[in-house]
Chains A and B, each alone.
Chain A
């Protein structure tokens, strides 16, 4: 099953040829092998030199309807613990807990974790 170039290289079809070129240029510069660079070049030609093929690829690319991610949390150089942590602060969120293997999330922990807790980001974990 061929991968759609818009999906494979994280391109938004609506941004036009200039944005596609810019993004693929960056990817080509970061590519570590000639084969990968050739694939990127082929995708660039496919998407920029043939409007009909670009349209077709766009129609076959899932639209981006996921919520924007925003920026990752900043990592402070010196960690300062400003609040007292309780057990509930260490409990994972239910959906994250459900994804953990049973050995990592035993029943008693899951029973606690399944309650309405706000899990702290890992950066705030005093044990890390």
Chain B
């Protein structure tokens, strides 16, 4: 006869089948070597009790796990039962650690969902509080005089512990730029999205984002420190101009590893300027060109950040200096002017940027006047006049400006205006 105990056993086995299918859905063939513990099938048992959960589990039993995947990752998580959130947090952690070595971006997504569940649990407080009380309660009572359980973690701090774990994963691979570190770094960058999925309060979101930023910065500092040390050593040996370029190339790898993080761009702009000035003073234009060429995308990315966000004004001048160097190494006149304009747009008060652009404007005006041998179109003369006026406004001490102005006067007097 079929007993309730038999029904329970069958239910457990079915849940294990569903969990295995769900895990395969998320990690593919990697599931073979990393199947979660059967206790994790409690996720399926818990999911049956939430809205659409029962139908999703039945669909999974029939072979379609996508509805169940949607149920467990649906936002906002804060409305879910706490035990389900605990399962979800651990389940996605398992998915992430299975994927992190081979598919870091997918792993980062899983870390982010795991963190979302932890954030929702931290906000709920009661579940984690009771769990801690059950686990540490005896120790606390055994130590009279201790006002606080020494090992306890406040529920709202638990997600921050997970953020710290991600930071450690990122920092552990900062020197070899391994895929797990990239996954952790990306996840730390997506903490805001995790908080949104969790339905976390603004305070919790802010706390988590600040913690994640600290962890990210620490990992990125470790990653660029290798480059910084090598550049310092090259500088001490007097080899910055010869060895600096190849050393700085590693910045590109760090940038890719970090998911194109701004901190790496800031590091690049700082160090590239030092090398750039050395090469500029040595008039090594070809080397300067070769040194800057690989970093155009990074410089552009940084420039866009500075242009988008006025609060990044402190980086406007260093970024503008990059465009001054790019102007210097550019051979195409039209492109040269665009780069010089960009430098001034980034930092309107940047001396080198203004000087550079003013000189280009004067050159352009002089070239235009050179074509006016007998006749001069009125609008051409007006354009030259405007170029020189702008050059004077930008940098009155521009070397060729007085000569160009005198030339303009001669053109106005001598040429036949059309």
Contact = CB atoms under 8 A, between A and B. Distances in A.
A120 B2 contact: yes
Interface residues of A, number: 41
Contacts of A73: 3, 5-6
A69 interface: yes
A16 B132 CA distance: 11
Main secondary structure of the interface of A (DSSP, over half): loop
Nearest to B42: A65
A71 interface: yes
B12 A16 contact: no
A100 interface: no
Interface string A12-53: 011011000000000000000000000000000000001110
A121 to B, nearest CB: 7
A4 interface: yes
Interface in A64-117: 64-73, 93, 95-96, 98-99
Interface string B289-327: 000000000000000000000000000000000000000
A70 B5 contact: yes
Interface stretch (B150-158, B280-288, B388-396): B150-158
B416 to A, nearest CB: 86
Contacts of A124: 1
Contacts, number: 113
Contacts of B150: 51-52
Interface in B36-68: 36-37, 39-43, 45-46, 61
A62 B43 CA distance: 8
B42 A55 contact: no
Given A58-B131, A99-B17, A1 B61 contact: no
B79 to A, nearest CB: 18
A17 B139 CA distance: 9
Contact of B97 (A1, A67, A98): A1
A119 B134 CA distance: 41
Interface in B135-158: 135-139, 149-153, 158
Contact of A121 (B1, B11, B36, B158): B1
B123 interface: no
A4 to B, nearest CB: 7
Interface of B: 1-6, 8-12, 14-15, 17, 34, 36-37, 39-43, 45-46, 61, 83-84, 86-87, 90-91, 93-94, 97-98, 128, 131-132, 134-139, 149-153, 158, 161
14 contacts: A3-B37, A13-B134, A14-B131, A14-B135, A55-B132, A55-B135, A62-B36, A63-B42, A65-B42, A69-B5, A70-B8, A93-B10, A95-B10, A96-B10
